[in-house]
A and B are shown apart, each in its own frame.
Chain A
Amino acid sequence: MAKKSFVGEIIRGIIKDNPVFVLVLGLCPVLAVSTSFANALGMAMAFTFVMLGSNIFVSLLRKQIPPGVRIPIFILIICTFVTMIDMMLEAFLPPMYEALGIFVPLIVVNCIVIGRAEAFANRNPVLPSIADGIGISIGFAAALILLGTIREILGTGALKLMMLWSKEGELGFYPLSDIPGFSFVPNPITFPIEPATVMVTPPGAFLTIAALMLLFKIMSDRKRMKQLRKEGYEI
């Protein structure tokens, strides 16, 4: 593989290899926990932890892992990190643990994590693997938060921006307006639209992701048409 810069790897993970919109992998948590901004943020953080941990360890062990049994070994490595984040969430952020439910243990079978271990970390040194992990995680988080934000705004007519913060020694997700320095942010931000409850129900999730994918497809098609016209094709 050609030598790439650290930042280049990160950007590739966000745009060219975006796990949700381009690779269409690991959709289950994206659709299930994107009911609100806060849930999406919590899931994105848990995912980032697992993704980075698994990429680093698979990459460190890549010369020791026998090719024949690599998938079970990847799963064991991933499972270790999933168990860690599962226990940490249960101990430090019980409300988030309740909200995410079985989707934290289910990161084990998330195709993105296994896919990156197999396709990238198993073949590359540690530093590019970290970059890949960061990029893929940001790409995943962006998709998740985008979906969560859209669904919360259309479904409830308001948006509650939340942030992980420790207030009076209590770690938790608090509204952004409660955090010093961000008190100018209204809580919640209201929008002048009629809330459509269907958007926070499961069909709304499918509809939102279908609409977003259609939007991205139209955009990339336009770009290609422009490129072809520039090259002199008549379309």
Chain B
Amino acid sequence: MIETPGLLPTENLFPIFVDAMFTKNFLLIMFLGLCSYVGLTTNSDTSKGMSMAVTFVMTMSAILTWPIYHYLLSPASIIGKDLTFLRTICFILIIASFVQLVEFIIRRFSPPLYKSLGIYLPLIATNCAVLGVVLMNIQEGYTYGASIIYAFAAGLGYSWVMLATAALREKLIMRNVDLFSGFIGAFFAATMVALIIVSYFSMVKL
């Protein structure tokens, strides 16, 4: 019998946080959301906007999808039928409609923010990092609290890698290192940043 995980976190939150931010970083270790990473890190302003938008959408979709999965789709839910095969389709619909809603709200209440985030918001609906976060939450069987923390930390992990790479690439492009303006440069920069994480956390055991 499958039991629904509780609402309040019973897990140790520190390892979850560090995992999502560093050791299982979404961009560099799990390879999720690379399209935006390669495309947007040539400029630190756009990557800042994208990071903020992704972190927000990730946290909000974790808040929305956890109850839907555990109270409607899972066999332990109030319906009592195994509807877990519908999870992918449900999550993608929830994320897409939520992104649409966020777009309307931001456009209505904060035009300057909309202007800076505007073009990235629709992109987030098909960003695999967001779908990845909600699927990981289900797969790991986190409680509600832990899943929100995990999603927020994953967003922070996404952000710092975006900003670090953008800083690296922007500087190199400014120095006319031509290689770093294209896709190839993005991957070389990613290699450097990923090596830092992997080698640091292979020495430092938490």
| Chain A contact residues, CB within 8 Å of chain B | 24-29, 31-32, 72, 75-76, 79-80, 82-83, 86-87, 101-102, 105-106, 108-111, 114, 198, 201-203, 205-207, 209-210, 213-214, 217
Cα–Cα distance between A30 and B206 once the two chains are bound (Å): 30
Question: Chain A contacts of B132 at CB under 8 A?
Answer: 102, 106
B2 at the interface (CB under 8 A from A): no
B28 at the interface (CB under 8 A from A): yes
Known contacts A27-B31, A27-B34, then 15 further A-B pairs from the complex at CB < 8 Å, ordered by chain A residue? A24-B183, A27-B35, A28-B32, A28-B33, A28-B128, A79-B92, A101-B139, A102-B135, A102-B136, A105-B131, A106-B135, A108-B92, A202-B28, A207-B187, A209-B187
| Chain B contact residues, CB within 8 Å of chain A | 28-35, 38, 85-89, 92, 96, 126-128, 131-132, 135-136, 139, 183-184, 187-188, 190-191, 194-195, 198
The reply to whether A210 and B187 form a contact with Cβ atoms under 8 Å apart is yes
Q: A31-B34, A102-B135, A202-B31 are in contact. Are A217 and B184 (CB under 8 A)?
A: yes
Cα–Cα distance between A31 and B33 once the two chains are bound (Å): 12
Please, could you name 23 A-B residue pairs with CB atoms under 8 Å apart, sorted by A? A24-B38, A24-B183, A27-B31, A27-B38, A79-B88, A79-B89, A83-B85, A87-B85, A102-B139, A105-B131, A106-B131, A106-B132, A108-B88, A109-B126, A111-B35, A114-B126, A201-B198, A202-B28, A206-B187, A206-B191, A209-B187, A210-B191, A214-B184
Q: A27-B35, A201-B198, A202-B29 are in contact. Are A210 and B188 (CB under 8 A)?
A: yes
Cα–Cα distance between A217 and B184 once the two chains are bound (Å): 9
Minimum distance in angstroms from A79 CB to a CB of chain B:
5
Question: Chain A contacts of B32 at CB under 8 A?
Answer: 28, 32, 106
Minimum distance in angstroms from B27 CB to a CB of chain A:
10
Question: Chain A contacts of B136 at CB under 8 A?
Answer: 102
Minimum distance in angstroms from A125 CB to a CB of chain B:
26
Cα–Cα distance between A75 and B198 once the two chains are bound (Å): 35
Contact of A213 among B87, B187, B190 (CB under 8 A): B187
Minimum distance in angstroms from B138 CB to a CB of chain A:
9
Cα–Cα distance between A31 and B187 once the two chains are bound (Å): 11
- Nearest chain-B residue to A27 (Cβ)? B34
The reply to whether A72 and B96 form a contact with Cβ atoms under 8 Å apart is yes
Q: A72-B96, A79-B92, A102-B132 are in contact. Are A206 and B190 (CB under 8 A)?
A: yes
Question: Chain B contacts of A82 at CB under 8 A?
Answer: 88
Of A24, A26, A29, A72, which is in contact with the most chain B CB atoms at under 10 Å from its CB? A24
Minimum distance in angstroms from B132 CB to a CB of chain A:
6
The reply to whether B88 and A203 form a contact with Cβ atoms under 8 Å apart is no
Of B31, B85, B132, B136, which is in contact with the most chain A CB atoms at under 10 Å from its CB? B31
Minimum distance in angstroms from B145 CB to a CB of chain A:
22
